Structure 1
Amino acid sequence: VRMLMSRILVLLLSLLWPRHIFSEEDCRRWEDLDSAVVHKDGQVILAAMFPIHSKSVEQELNFTSTPDRRKCRGLNLRALRWSQAMIFFIEEINRNPLLLPNITLGYRIYDTCWTVALSARTALSVVSQPLKRNSTGACLSPSIPLVIGDSGSSLSIAVSSLLNLFKVPLISYFSSCACLSDKKQYPYFFRTVPSDTYQASAMARLVKHFGWAWVGTFGADDAYGRTGIDMFTAEVTNLGACVAFRVIIPKVPTQQEIRDIVKTIKHSTARVLVTFATEEDMEPVVEEVGRQNVTGRLWVASEAWVTSTLISNKYPFLSGTMGFAIRRAEIPGLKDFLESMQPFTEPYNPPAREFWETVFRCSFNTSVPVGSMADQVRYNRTCTGNERIQDTNTIYNDVSQLRVTYNLYKAVHAAAHALHNLVIQEDRAEKQFCPDIYSLQPWKVIKYLNEVNFTTVFGDVVNFDKYGDPAGSYDIVNWQKGPGGGPMHFATVGRFDSSLPEKQRLVLHQDAVVWPGGSTE
């Protein structure tokens, strides 16, 4: 009996005793959350989110075996450019002796596949990074004090809601929904793209300027599209115009839904169509518009698609389109950096390999790289690795319209300036020559983000108002056909600046506008 009781006691103690006294294999997460596609170590890490793929592949769940790692498809060359540009900006900062001297920034870049679920997963990954300690218990792991992203407003809403729980700031380069200015819901959200409050006001003033009294409206089926169109409608009706219809574009529309949308356009007497949507939302609509040969309409595009070369070059009948674009910049050295990307160089970059296979239409005779999220496609031709990006002309290496990329530049530099000022203050407070950068707390960064105020090398002031927003400044862009039937040209024909007095905000060079059909009057 004593022998039996002893065995039972040992069994009970083994169940109650902390599991960590046994092997580490006995205690681990169900699944590794970290899905960074590109990363490089540093003393401080900036995490960033980009929709490097445009959609997630649906998984079949049988609940009898471990689900496969989520896959994505549709390589987004524009977002790939953003992700590579982030690396370029960080390396520039690391070479700058005046900004974060003696501190090396690293990065973890995540592919969110334009999917809320993957964006939320990334947020969880950032706040659950494993920590390494030395023999004295001091932290050796680099801190991740903030996140840069996400691209879409719905994605940023999900990410910010999660990061709020841990007081981690989020700086977006492309999420413009006015809803994100609500500091009660999103107290740690900042952005370098203007709030759509300004864009809706600018669009309404454009309509009034030209005397358009009867307009149709389109919005994407998300926070960005619905909120944007509702704000525009309120503004434009106050200015005396009327809205003929309000159409919401489904995120995954059926062909019948697209035909119904175009039917609304054809049957309406409204000749001016105002949109709040992305290029992914708009493409199936304008494709059907072209197929049915619907002409004689003027499209007013929001900033999310007004400089889309994907749409402008594919659908030349949209010549005359107008819209509001965020400020652009010419960034020296970026094009050379983008074109220097290689498929098998360090830091290892799975999207670079996929870019190679997609653009050069060839396949490498190697296995799919570990960590790749791509749904693999095989080509008959073998890649040599000696193909040259310089010989291609894609959205990836097109640096003629660096607008979102410039917003990303501002976001990365705003983060660096905030961290720089935080480190200086920590150094002074503790009278240390070398502050403990491994213990940077995200909540401390927020104070310095609120105080950010610097001028870029391109002459633009970067700061945030009490809502975490920048001033509303836009170029007014007009789509004009290139000479001899060349690619569509985005001509700047005016500007809107919310920081100026009311009557000076909208400036338009009407004689420079080309209307649908090619008329200048």
Structure 2
Amino acid sequence: MDGDFVIGGAFFIHYKMQTLFHNYTTEPELPRCIGSFDARELRFSRTMIFAIKEINNSTELLPGIRLGYQIYDTCGAVPIAVHVAFQLLNGQDPLFYKDSNCSQSGMVMAAVGDSGSTPTISISRLMGSFNIPLVSHFATCACLSDKKEYPTFFRTIPSDDFQADALAKLVKYFGWTWIGAVHSDSDYGNNGMASFLKTANREGICVEYIESFYRTDTPSKIKKVADVIRRSSAVVVVAFAADGDMKFLLEELARDPPPPRQWIGSESWVTDQLSMSFSFCAGTIGVAIQQSVIPGLREFLLDLSPSEVAASSVLTEFWEEVFNCSLRKNTYLYRRECNGTEDIRTVESLYTDTSQLRISNMVYKAVYAIAHAIHNAACQNTNGLTKCNKNMNFDPKKIVAELKKVKFIQNGYNVSFKANGDPVAFYELVNWQKSDSGEIELVTVGYYDASLPVGQEFRIFRNLTWLDGGTQVPVSVCSQSCPPGTRKVLQKGQPICCYDCTPCPEGEISNQTDSPDCFHCPKEFWPNAKKDVCIPKPVEFLSFNEVLSVILVAFSISGACLTTITGIIFFKHRMTPIVRANNSELSFLLLFSLALCFLCSLTFIGAPSEWSCMLRHTAFGITFVLCISCVLGKTIVVLMAFKATLPGSNAMKWFGPPQQRITVVSFTFIQVLICTVWLVLSPPFPVKNLSTYKEKIILECALGSVVGFWAVLGYIGLLALFCFVLAILARKLPDNFNEAKLITFSMLIFCAVWITFIPAYVSSPGKFTVAVEIFAILASSFGLVLCIFAPKCFIILFQPEKNTKKYLMNKN
């Protein structure tokens, strides 16, 4: 249609381009479109005509100016798209202009189109060379946002970068980490899938396979793609494909439907009514352009007069296909002739379906954007009146500049362009749900708004239906999630989503699902049985509540009681010869020290503290030295007593009671001095032993100075050895009651116990170290009590006839 200013239009109303074979002997034919007819694209082109007629009837927009249009079918093929671009730039004027106006002879002011990214790229490159703006309604390739490459390109549909981001976040939202991917082998599919994969990789989504196809591929190639989908383990399939391409793949899958698959669709095919006819795709979810309402469009689409149809080859073909009749005589022998009773209002087709106006609104907005740009360039508002100059010759750059600035609201929808020529991205999330009648319906379940803050762009506000009409979210993972207490170990040669779950090593936990690593608990904590939380380690020490402690306490008190009873017996019979022999004073002092030895073992039981740690070792060292000193004094008394019986000997004069007391005090004072130095320089202190056991804490006394500890033990051992040697020397002295024999045996037991104690003490873990030390104290103490005092008590109590001076003085 002619007009003061002409707007071009490019749509692919047919699916294929005729294949031409050139023989180089005749003039080549012009390429033309053939194949299946796309009624949806016809609706897009008619929407453009509707918008232009609506503008021409407007008194506010371009008053006094009539817009014309030139609409062409590109059938999505680059050769025809290039040919269409030349037609839009030069027209089909048969005259060849030689003057300065040659480049303006048939040039359109701007153009709307195309419906695919690949043909749009070709058209935009050509039109950009002449600064002619191209506003696309359906070309979403992110590459077209490059203003250096495509300076005059604009679009009313968002870039695929946003669509890819929305699809990836949709997949991540439902926990799908193992998916398949198919896409059109075109700029739309290749660039869109590249953007999706980049975002998916960032979101931790793995792709089992990536297959590309195109509508012109051989059936075997499309079957190969379909077989990959059938054999795959991924339940979710993301299809970034044009509706025209997806039609061929779905037809191939319909011949042998695959196992249930959850389809995720791009906006090109997810709203296509033809694609929705494949029942095995029920439950498909995807992104779609916002649904809209265009008042008056349905009436315009249905208002087709026979004369109007006959005047257009495209409408004629559509009419003949819809009603299966022929408007042209002798064209289709198998079709009846149309009789004029055909009514388009009774037909259900993609052309008449205006229930889901999405892309049609993009066409509508594109036409209005161009009209507003022309209005701003050609019209002026003077005193409230708008006047437009329809004879003005524009520099095409002027329309481009005005397009960059347009900002208006049409039918409640904002229209504006960002610096790169793109609109603000807003998508609806749609779901294919089966109605009560069994037909698949397109239901809006959420939205994606790129203008919202990060993390808030995505929202679902309605229940979805999944594959096979299910209500449970399908699972599509290569490996099941690893529970807390385990970590992921990648499978060799597989993507990061394929892994094994390995329990955390000893002492480590993981408290998150799908944790890549386990981490150590703090020093004083240990994993629970599930290894998903650190709990405080149990603190262990030899407490009074334990059975072992009760036994040791019982023996300790029993020993102290036995010593006390022995002392009482000796005190009651203190005037008898057997008590008075070998210095009764040393015997009572020995019994007192033995009682302290038994009781000092109690200081080793219970939670260690600073005072208890210092007390236990020093009390043990001093009481035992006091005990051994007394035994040593008694041994020397035995030797001196027999020396004194020799003629002219005054041995007892030099080792009488005063000397015996001095000996005991001196030996004990040395131990007191050693303990004092130890406590002053480096005393024992309580410490938490974290190394002996990994899973528990041993509360024990650190020695402070190891030298001090072994000096105390060494001094005790030195006195015991000295006493043992003297006792051996005195063991054969003639007497009915030679105490040296008893001392020898007691020292033998004492030394055996403490020699055994050393390796046992070093090798015993934790609280058993303390138990070994207590056992050594009790064993050696019982050895002294029983060996030295038990025989005397037996004589005192049961053999009083032997408790006489005469019996004791008899020599064998």
Q: What is the TM-score when the length of structure 1 is the normalising length? A: 0.84
Partner residue in 2 for 1:515: 466
Aligned pairs, how many? Answer: 464
Partner residue in 2 for 1:63: 24
Q: CA deviation at 1:239?
A: 1.2
Asked if the contact 1:363/1:379 (under 8 Å) is kept, the reply is: no
Partner residue in 2 for 1:286: 250
**Pairing 1:259-278 to 2, within 5 Å after superposition:** 259-278=223-242
Counterpart among 228, 231, 239 of residue 195 in structure 2: 231
Partner residue in 2 for 1:336: 299
Q: CA deviation at 1:256?
A: 2.2
Secondary structure of the residue aligned to 1:309 is: coil
Q: 1:334 to 1:378 in 2, by over 3 A?
A: farther
**Pairing 1:196-275 to 2, within 5 Å after superposition:** 196-275=160-239
Counterpart among 497, 502, 505 of residue 454 in structure 2: 502
Q: CA deviation at 1:341?
A: 1.6
Q: CA deviation at 1:264?
A: 1.6
Counterpart among 280, 292, 308 of residue 317 in structure 1: 280
In the aligned structure 1, how far is the partner of 2:63 from the partner of 2:464? 48
Question: In the alignment, is residue 410 of structure 1 matched against residue 371 of structure 2?
Answer: no
Q: Letter of the aligned partner of 2:12 in structure 1?
A: P
Partner residue in 2 for 1:483: 436
Partner residue in 2 for 1:419: 374
Q: 1:164 to 1:481 in 2, by over 3 A?
A: same
Secondary structure of the residue aligned to 2:239 is: strand
Q: Letter of the aligned partner of 2:38 in structure 1?
A: N
Q: 1:444 to 1:377 in 2, by over 3 A?
A: farther
Secondary structure of the residue aligned to 1:81 is: helix
In the aligned structure 1, how far is the partner of 2:205 from the partner of 2:360? 35
Q: Letter of the aligned partner of 2:188 in structure 1?
A: Y
Instruction: Write the deviation string for residues 312-340 of structure 1: whole angstroms up to 9, x where unpaired.
Output: 12x11111000000112122221111111
Counterpart among 345, 353, 358 of residue 316 in structure 2: 353
Partner residue in 1 for 2:65: 103
Q: CA deviation at 1:380?
A: 2.9
Runs (5+) with no aligned partner, structure 2: 473-812
Secondary structure of the residue aligned to 1:49 is: strand
Instruction: Write the deviation string for residues 407-455 of structure 1: whole angstroms up to 9, x where unpaired.
Output: 0011000001111111136x88xxx965353512221101100001111
Partner residue in 2 for 1:118: 80
In the aligned structure 1, how far is the partner of 2:239 from the partner of 2:298? 31
In the aligned structure 1, how far is the partner of 2:387 from the partner of 2:200? 57
In the aligned structure 2, how far is the partner of 1:363 from the partner of 1:466? 50
Q: CA deviation at 1:50?
A: 1.1
Secondary structure of the residue aligned to 2:371 is: helix
Partner residue in 2 for 1:92: 54
In the aligned structure 2, how far is the partner of 1:268 from the partner of 1:344? 54
Asked if the contact 1:343/1:350 (under 8 Å) is kept, the reply is: no
Q: CA deviation at 1:107?
A: 0.8
Asked if the contact 2:329/2:337 (under 8 Å) is kept, the reply is: no
Q: 1:508 to 1:415 in 2, by over 3 A?
A: same
In the aligned structure 2, how far is the partner of 1:433 from the partner of 1:69? 43
Asked if the contact 1:131/1:141 (under 8 Å) is kept, the reply is: no
Question: In the alignment, is residue 473 of structure 1 matched against residue 437 of structure 2?
Answer: no
Asked if the contact 2:65/2:388 (under 8 Å) is kept, the reply is: no
Instruction: Write the deviation string for residues 100-133 of structure 1: whole angstroms up to 9, x where unpaired.
Output: 1111111111111221111111111122134999
Q: Letter of the aligned partner of 1:233 in structure 2?
A: L
Asked if the contact 1:151/1:172 (under 8 Å) is kept, the reply is: yes
In the aligned structure 1, how far is the partner of 2:291 from the partner of 2:270? 13
Secondary structure of the residue aligned to 1:54 is: strand
**Pairing 1:417-456 to 2, within 5 Å after superposition:** 417-424=372-379, 435=389, 437-456=391-410
Secondary structure of the residue aligned to 1:287 is: helix
Q: 1:346 to 1:322 in 2, by over 3 A?
A: closer
**Pairing 1:171-182 to 2, within 5 Å after superposition:** 171-182=135-146
Secondary structure of the residue aligned to 1:225 is: helix
Partner residue in 2 for 1:14: none
Partner residue in 2 for 1:78: 40
Higher relative contact order (CA 8 A, sep 6+): 1
Asked if the contact 1:142/1:438 (under 8 Å) is kept, the reply is: no
Asked if the contact 1:473/1:496 (under 8 Å) is kept, the reply is: yes
Secondary structure of the residue aligned to 2:304 is: coil
Q: 1:46 to 1:340 in 2, by over 3 A?
A: same
Secondary structure of the residue aligned to 1:462 is: strand
Secondary structure of the residue aligned to 2:424 is: coil
Q: Letter of the aligned partner of 1:516 in structure 2?
A: L
In the aligned structure 2, how far is the partner of 1:378 from the partner of 1:63? 34
Q: CA deviation at 1:379?
A: 3.6
Alignment root-mean-square deviation, CA: 2.4
Asked if the contact 1:343/1:353 (under 8 Å) is kept, the reply is: no
In the aligned structure 2, how far is the partner of 1:138 from the partner of 1:249? 45
Q: 1:325 to 1:366 in 2, by over 3 A?
A: same
Q: 1:218 to 1:366 in 2, by over 3 A?
A: same
Q: Letter of the aligned partner of 2:121 in structure 1?
A: I
In the aligned structure 2, how far is the partner of 1:377 from the partner of 1:213? 53
